[in-house]
């Protein structure tokens, strides 16, 4: 198996369903990697400070002592996916830049021994410090294909301008050259379509420097954009909804 440590200069889009329209798109940098890989270019580190870094304890459920790949394996065993424990596991996430990170959503891509994508864990975090992970798979655990959708009931309060009820429809297109993810949240006639797409390239010092020059504040910029869109929605008349008590289960 060829080690995976890729850099994706991607594009994210958010489009609001319903009467109050609000669409936006911006560039964002993600890393796609096998968490067993510890080394990389000089400007990248695992579990220690660098210009760009990936820390195991930034990912996984908040109530589990395990994090990173250990957490994934524990979840697989807990939910009865024992046959996937020895397969390839890739993490798609924003890394720390200047030691700061915030991931609205990260994705664990879990493959079987034949290198077929069978399960995706969508790890969703909100700006209130809550996190919930959605197990995305077919009921019969068949291969996840790009034209297929996987459904999950919403249980985490994300946007203060959206209700807690409703469901997500996930779609994944993961190839050797491209990553495309579509998340369509619907609550009757309201909701949000969120997408991420970009081409894979090897993570290098050059790609890191380019990302830092183009988007020097990394996830701080992402948080600023989230709050800017919230201000715009408020002025457009969207109703602010208080954060409910988080669900006692952080995986569904």
pLDDT digits (tens, 9 = 90+) for 136-161: 999 999 999 999 999 999 988 887 77
Does residue 146 sit within a domain?
yes
Beta-bridge partners for 27: 11
β-strands 52-54, 44-46 pairing: parallel
**Span 176-200, pLDDT tens digits:** 999 999 999 999 888 889 999 999 9
How many residues in total does the chain contain? 252
- pLDDT given at position 231: 78
Beta-bridge partners for 84: none
Does residue 252 sit within a domain?
no
pLDDT of 1 over the 60 cut? no
pLDDT of 164 over the 70 cut? yes
What is the pLDDT averaged over residues 43-69?
Answer: 92
Mean pLDDT of the chain: 89
The Cα 208–Cα 193 span in angstroms is 29
Q: How many domains does the chain have?
A: 1
What is the pLDDT averaged over residues 94-99?
Answer: 92
- pLDDT given at position 2: 65
pTM over 0.95: no
Comparing 128 with 222, the larger pLDDT belongs to 128
Annotate the chain with three-state secondary structure: CCCCEEEEEEEEEEEEECCCCCEEEEEEEEEEEECCCCCCCCCEEECCCCCEEECHHHCCCCCCCCCHHHHHHHHHHHCCCHHHCCCCEEEEECCEECCECCCCEEEEEEECCCCCEEEEEEEEECCCCCEEEEEECCCCCCCCCCCCCEEEECCCCCCCCCCCCCEEEEEEEECCCEEEEEEEEEECCEEEEEEEEEEEEECCHHHHHHHHHHCCCHHHHHHHHHHHHHHHHHHCCCCCCCCCCCCCCCEC
Does residue 247 sit within a domain?
no
What is the pLDDT averaged over residues 87-93?
Answer: 95
Does residue 244 sit within a domain?
no
Does residue 18 sit within a domain?
yes
pLDDT of 94 over the 70 cut? yes
pLDDT of 35 over the 70 cut? yes
- pLDDT given at position 115: 93
Does residue 180 sit within a domain?
yes
- pLDDT given at position 38: 87
Does residue 160 sit within a domain?
yes
Does residue 249 sit within a domain?
no
Structural domain for 193, as ranges: 5-235
Phi, psi of 127 (to 5 degrees): -80, 0
């Amino acid at each position: 198996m060829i080690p995976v440590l890729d850099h994706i200069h991607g594009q994210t889009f958010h489009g609001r369903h319903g009467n109050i329209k609000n669409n936006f798109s911006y560039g964002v940098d993600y890393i796609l990697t096998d968490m067993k890989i510890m080394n990389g270019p000089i400007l990248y580190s695992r579990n220690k400070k660098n210009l760009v870094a990936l820390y195991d304890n930034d990912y996984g459920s908040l109530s589990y002592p395990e994090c990173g790949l250990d957490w994934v394996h524990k979840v697989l065993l807990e939910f009865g996916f024992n046959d996937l424990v020895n397969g390839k596991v890739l993490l798609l996430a924003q890394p720390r830049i200047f030691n700061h990170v915030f991931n609205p959503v990260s994705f664990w891509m879990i493959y079987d021994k034949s290198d077929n994508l069978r399960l995706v864990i969508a790890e969703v975090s909100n700006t209130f410090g809550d996190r919930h992970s959605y197990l995305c798979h077919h009921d019969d655990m068949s291969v996840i294909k790009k034209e297929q959708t996987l459904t999950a009931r919403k249980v985490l309060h994300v946007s203060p301008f959206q209700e807690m009820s409703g469901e997500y429809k996930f779609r994944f297109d993961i190839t050797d050259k491209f990553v495309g993810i579509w998340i369509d949240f619907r609550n009757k006639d309201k909701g949000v379509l969120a997408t991420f797409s970009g081409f894979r390239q090897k993570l290098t010092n050059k790609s890191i420097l380019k990302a830092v020059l183009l988007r020097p504040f990394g996830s701080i910029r992402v948080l600023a954009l989230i709050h800017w869109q919230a201000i715009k929605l408020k002025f457009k008349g969207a109703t602010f909804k208080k954060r409910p008590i988080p669900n006692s289960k952080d995986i569904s």
